[in-house]
Amino acid sequence: MAKIDFGGVIEEVVTREEFPLSKAREVLSNEVVAVIGYGVQGPAQALNMKENGVNVIVGQAPEFKADWDKAVRDGFVPGETLFNVEEAAQKGTIIQYLVSDAAQRALWPKIKPHLTTGKALYFSHGFSITYKEQTGVVPPDDIDVILCAPKGSGTSVRRNFLAGAGINSSFSVFRDHTGKALERILALGIAIGSGYLFPTTFEKEVFSDLTGERGVLMGALAGIMDAQYKVLRDNGHSPSEAFNETVEELTQSLIRLVDEKGMDWMYANCSATAQRGALDWRPRFMEATLPVFTELYDRVRSGEECSRVLESTGSSNYKELLDAELAELGNSELWRTGAAVRKLRPENK
């Protein structure tokens, strides 16, 4: 592993230089990787591995026709490289369990009988193992249990792979029965196209992931946008002006500078007025939101957020309720304005 200085803290990471694709192919040469679930992460990881020369099959319930048909369109052949869930699990030596967290609990009785001695069970989220008391996902003792969690959506994992880049991923070995668990997971991490791999635990992965999704990555970001847009609109600003100052400038300009050079560089290269205001107001927002993030992390660690996920997604009318919530978000003035603004971008004309 390479030793990297992250802000004064030395961490060990695995790069493509230390673990090249040729080595990953060698490690996986006698493996059959069964990707269970062709919904969110499944397509990206399956296609990336397939194009990197790994022997990949897909397990997908045929009754979920849209996902089954997508796998066929992507080149997986029914009866050859595309099977129902149980048959794929039986054939695979490494089973990538990439269905949703709720579906992992529901499908577990069908998967567990096929976890025979020496196989590996792979996750991209620590949820089911960390909250095993609630999910019931308890693997047998005579298999490897491993994790590689890309720090991005399946869409980004695939898009970055095709662009020749990669999404950074965390990795973990929960159980090493064969003595090969570490090289197995590093090979898989490289094969799915990771930019670099950094170590974690199943527990730390799920705690950070659930906090991040509910916080800066999605929940907090959307909530802050809602609040600023409302204040601007309540004070007489037009939808276009409020949206551009709240979302468009962030996504089309500033966040790209942060990505390229960092927040400090972006601060140093904006106007003096913006710079002064950002420096003055940053501590105020930190102070205001820190208690919310502390409460959020405590709920994740206690399992309350797990209970919320399993209870809500397990209800018979969840899809109907979810569609209503998403429609409310999409039909808000903020995001209807966003749709209009995107159509005005030169590349969309």
310-326 pLDDT, tens digit each: 999 888 899 999 999 99
Which element (helix H / strand E) includes 340? helix 333-344
Q: In what order do the strands lie in the sheet with 82-83?
A: 2-6, 9-15, 196-199, 169-175, 144-150, 120-123, 94-97, 33-36, 56-59, 82-83
Least confident of 8-17, 21-30, 41-50, 327-336: 8-17
SS3 315: coil
Average pLDDT over residues 25-31: 97
Give yes or no for residue 264 having a pLDDT over 80: yes
User: What pLDDT is attached to residue 346?
Assistant: 84
Third-level CATH fold of 2-200? Rossmann fold (3.40.50)
Average pLDDT over residues 18-40: 96
Angle at the Cα of 205 from the Cα atoms of 201 and 91, rounded to 5 degrees: 80
* Rounded Cα gap, residues 127 and 302, in angstroms: 13
Q: Nearest-CA neighbor of 16 among 189, 182, 149?
A: 189
Give yes or no for residue 230 having a pLDDT over 80: yes
User: What pLDDT is attached to residue 118?
Assistant: 97
What is the percentage of the chain residues whose pLDDT exceeds 90?
89
Known active-site residue 125 = yes
Q: How many CB atoms lie within 10 A of CB 18?
A: 14
CB burial class (10 A; 0-12, 13-18, 19+) of residue 45?
Answer: buried
Confidence band, pLDDT 50/70/90 cuts, at residue 239: very high
Average pLDDT over residues 231-258: 94
Which residue in the list 114, 125, 177, 237 is annotated as catalytic?
125
Average pLDDT over residues 186-192: 97
Helices (H), the chain: 21-27, 41-51, 65-73, 85-91, 101-111, 127-130, 132-135, 154-162, 181-191, 202-214, 219-234, 239-243, 249, 255-261, 263-268, 272-302, 304-313, 318-330, 333-344
Give yes or no for residue 76 having a pLDDT over 80: yes
Confidence band, pLDDT 50/70/90 cuts, at residue 5: confident
* Rounded Cα gap, residues 143 and 118, in angstroms: 5
Average pLDDT over residues 76-104: 96
User: What pLDDT is attached to residue 314?
Assistant: 85
Give the CA diameter of the chain: 67
Give yes or no for residue 40 having a pLDDT over 90: no
Q: Which residue has the tokens 């003096």?
A: 272
* Rounded Cα gap, residues 173 and 277, in angstroms: 45
**Backbone φ and ψ of 141, nearest 5°:** -75, -20
Pairing relationship of beta strands 196-199 and 9-15 according to DSSP bridges: antiparallel
Average pLDDT over residues 36-57: 96
Confidence band, pLDDT 50/70/90 cuts, at residue 327: very high
* Rounded Cα gap, residues 133 and 320, in angstroms: 28
Give yes or no for residue 1 having a pLDDT over 80: no
Confidence band, pLDDT 50/70/90 cuts, at residue 163: very high
Structure tokens at 93: 């030596």
Helices (H), 263-317: 263-268, 272-302, 304-313
SS3 131: coil
* β-sheet bridge partners, residue 156: none
Buried b vs exposed e over 105-130: b needs ≥16 C-beta within 10 Å? Answer: bebbeebeebbeeebbbbbbbbbbbb
User: What pLDDT is attached to residue 6?
Assistant: 82
Confidence band, pLDDT 50/70/90 cuts, at residue 349: low
Domain ranges of the chain: 2-200, 215-348
User: What pLDDT is attached to residue 7?
Assistant: 82
Q: pLDDT tens across 116-157, in order?
A: 999 999 999 999 999 999 999 999 999 999 999 999 889 999
User: What pLDDT is attached to residue 315?
Assistant: 86
What CATH class has 215-348?
mainly alpha
Quote the distance between the C-alpha of residue 59 and its chain's center: 20
User: What pLDDT is attached to residue 289?
Assistant: 97
Mean pLDDT of the chain: 94
